[in-house]
Amino acid sequence: MFIRENKTYNKKAQKTYIKHCLVESVWTEKGSRQRTIMNLGHLTIPRMEWKKLAHALECQLTGQQTLLSTTDNHIERLALSLVSNMKLSKKLQKKNDSENKEERKLVTIDLKSIKTTKSREMGPELVCQMAWDLLDVEKTLKKTNFSDREIAIAKAVIFGRLISPGSEMHTYRWFRDRSALSEFPGANISRCGKDMFYEVGDNLYSKKDRIEELLYMKERELFPHNAGTIFLYDLTNTYMEGSCLGNNLAERGHCKSKRTDCPLITLSLVVDGDGMPITSHIYKGNQSEPETMEDMIGRLESMAWGNQTTLLKPTVAMDRGIATQSNVDYLRANQYPYIIIKREDEREEYRKQFEMERDSFTHIGQNRKSAYGDENNVYTKKIVPDGEDICKVLCISDGKARKEKAIDAKKIQRFLDDINKFDKSIKDGKIKDFTKTSAKLERIVKKHKTASEAYVFSVNKTVDGKAEGIVLEKKAAFEETLYGCYVMESTHKELSDIELWKLYMTLTHVESAFRAMKSELGMRPVYHQNESRSGAHLFITVLAYHLLAVIERLLMQKGDHRQWSTIREVLSTHARNTVIITDKDGNTDHVRVSGAPESMHQEIYDMLEIKDPLKQVVLRVKTATGDTTNMDS
């Protein structure tokens, strides 16, 4: 079928009218002729897209799946609109009905023979494929010299991290036994071995910088709103299983997952203001956070679009773990705008404003309540120091105050419990030596350094110099902690206090990214015992997060704020199955078919404009004569 343009000239109006119609060539007794299928009115799309529209219309009329890419969604919508409004001629409608009847395959089957086998999950795979196509990941990998087979394996590895998080071996088993991904269009890798899943990870990691650069450029094209205006930077670490003696990245340090018994590996990540990942880097587990900032800035400037930042440099946002005075000086020396909370505590400098001038602060209502039913209110006040090119924003958060008070209350209670337990031991006569008692008390105070600062304590002794008990009193002049208070610093003097607070709060995007990687994408633990494989495991997680960020962003634009873990669980019941049926003649057919989406599946597919690309496959595995035939459809 193809589209034909018809021109009609109206002499009275002296105007040419243009109409279009869908036609097909048919053979008649008088030779080849064109038969009009439907009138399309006047088309406004470019002539170069007529062929695609004709294909989409033909698929709509015949009930077939279109082969158009996701970039041609506007053509599919136009075709659907035209078909829904058309009226076929009675003659053509009769012909189509007769052809449909001829195409049907009617057999008498034994209902008791119906069975299903090889059930494979396909719902989450369809959503991941949509994000994969939208980001042009295949094109990106081809630019970095991946073969078609390697691209297909890379897709399986990255999809596996999104759908069934775990190690590379776990991903291989998921792909082999639980997923319908091997049936998706592309290179056939259904028989590849597990070693390929490890090797493709190594290959991805070796070309990490170029892949991240190309992906982010595509993301800037898809979501240009906050691209390049703010960079959010943070680090996290994850623990490793095994001794990792031959792994140079594995080091002991402060574990954010509280696994002090394991060596660690550190991941740094930069995201933009919308939470889309820009670049990442992998460090040793004992890496000092502040020391990584200059390296991060250098990597950003070395990217292909880095030269553009010299004209309008992005704002850098970091949490207080990285924002040392030396790093702040570096940003200012290199003329990077920033918004930070300094590592050095500045609250005491503004104690008077926090305690006495709260009425002068601007109230920011967040319209949400805490788990205890209290409102999470924030109060801000902007201060511009004389003669400086920066501003300060004093912030008081009710929610942060409640959290800090609860933490301190637990610390104090643990300190008091240890003191009371020790005091009881002294009074029970279990320890009497005054010197030993004083040494033990010093150890308790050192253990609870923060909680003990509010108390004065001493050891009472008897006339003969033996320990008698512990005397504990709270300091009368002790200044209460400024709970919920913090001081932000920024070069954006032109912004209001509310705008600056909201700008800093975008750091929650990078925190959400780390949370997703650890909880939803299986970044921890790392089982590999060598350096390159450990880095590859983390980089595969970062690549999976690229897809996750796109999926959640598109759903959010449609008003759906569910996380990927929820979407994944909902779609996990949409599967592809092989239906086994036996007819009255003893012939057995295996019909490989996708399940009909339920309403909860279709709702997600409609929001993301997803269609099932997999066709029905019929294999006659046993006939009355014992033959085996393939009957694909």
Report the C-alpha gap between 59 and 41 in whole angstroms: 19
Q: Are residues 355 and 449 in the same domain?
A: yes
Instruction: Give strand pairing partners of 338.
Output: 316
With respect to residue 464, please indicate whether it lies within any of the assigned structural domains: yes
> What integer is the mean pLDDT of 180-185?
91
| pLDDT given for residue 207 in this prediction | 95
Last residue in a domain, options 440, 471, 492: 492
Report the C-alpha gap between 300 and 306 in whole angstroms: 6
With respect to residue 324, please indicate whether it lies within any of the assigned structural domains: no
Q: Are residues 451 and 346 in the same domain?
A: yes
**Structure confidence by residue, pLDDT tens digits, 521-554:** 878 788 888 888 899 999 999 999 999 999 999 9
Q: Are residues 370 and 479 in the same domain?
A: yes
With respect to residue 144, please indicate whether it lies within any of the assigned structural domains: no
Q: Is the pLDDT of residue 464 over 70?
A: yes
Share of the chain above pLDDT 90, in %: 33
State the sign of the Cα–Cα–Cα–Cα dihedral 511, 516, 521, 527.
Answer: positive
**Structure confidence by residue, pLDDT tens digits, 97-128:** 555 555 566 778 888 889 999 999 999 999 99
Q: Are residues 353 and 471 in the same domain?
A: yes
Q: Are residues 589 and 485 in the same domain?
A: no
Q: Are residues 381 and 479 in the same domain?
A: yes
With respect to residue 408, please indicate whether it lies within any of the assigned structural domains: yes
Report the C-alpha gap between 500 and 507 in whole angstroms: 12
Residue with tokens 């829904």: 84
State the sign of the Cα–Cα–Cα–Cα dihedral 402, 404, 405, 406.
Answer: positive
Using CA atoms, how far residue 206 sits from 140, 211, 212, in Å, is 14, 10, 12
Confidence grade of residue 129 (pLDDT, cut at 50, 70, 90): very high
| pLDDT given for residue 490 in this prediction | 95
Of 272, 129, 136, the closest CA to residue 214 belongs to 136
Residue 313: DSSP 8-state: P
Q: Are residues 357 and 468 in the same domain?
A: yes
Q: Are residues 481 and 347 in the same domain?
A: yes
Of 472, 446, 230, the closest CA to residue 338 belongs to 230
The 3-state DSSP class for residue 583 equals strand
Q: Are residues 348 and 465 in the same domain?
A: yes
In contact, 486 and 507? CB cutoff 8 Å: no
Confidence grade of residue 585 (pLDDT, cut at 50, 70, 90): confident
With respect to residue 246, please indicate whether it lies within any of the assigned structural domains: no
> What integer is the mean pLDDT of 365-380?
69
Q: Is the pLDDT of residue 257 over 90?
A: no
Last residue in a domain, options 103, 137, 152: 103
Q: Are residues 588 and 487 in the same domain?
A: no
| pLDDT given for residue 43 in this prediction | 87
**Structure confidence by residue, pLDDT tens digits, 231-254:** 888 888 888 888 888 888 888 888
Count of domains in the chain? 3
| pLDDT given for residue 104 in this prediction | 60
The 3-state DSSP class for residue 320 equals coil
| pLDDT given for residue 134 in this prediction | 94
Residue 484: domain span: 341-492
C-alpha R_g of the chain: 33
Share of the chain above pLDDT 70, in %: 90
| pLDDT given for residue 528 in this prediction | 84
Report the C-alpha gap between 423 and 430 in whole angstroms: 10
In contact, 320 and 340? CB cutoff 8 Å: yes
With respect to residue 515, please indicate whether it lies within any of the assigned structural domains: no
| pLDDT given for residue 186 in this prediction | 81
With respect to residue 260, please indicate whether it lies within any of the assigned structural domains: no
Q: Which residue has the higher pLDDT, 31 or 486?
A: 486
Q: Which pTM does this prediction carry? A: 0.73
In contact, 38 and 82? CB cutoff 8 Å: yes
Provide CB contacts within 8 A for 116, sequence distance 6+: 577, 578, 579, 580
| pLDDT given for residue 93 in this prediction | 55
Residue with tokens 């150890």: 443
Q: Are residues 351 and 456 in the same domain?
A: yes
Provide CB contacts within 8 A for 385, sequence distance 6+: 391, 392
In contact, 204 and 535? CB cutoff 8 Å: no
Last residue in a domain, options 475, 492, 509: 492
Q: Which residue has the higher pLDDT, 487 or 344?
A: 487
Report the C-alpha gap between 387 and 114 in whole angstroms: 84
**Structure confidence by residue, pLDDT tens digits, 136-165:** 999 999 999 999 999 999 999 999 999 999
Residue 71: DSSP 8-state: G
With respect to residue 152, please indicate whether it lies within any of the assigned structural domains: no
> What integer is the mean pLDDT of 578-606?
90
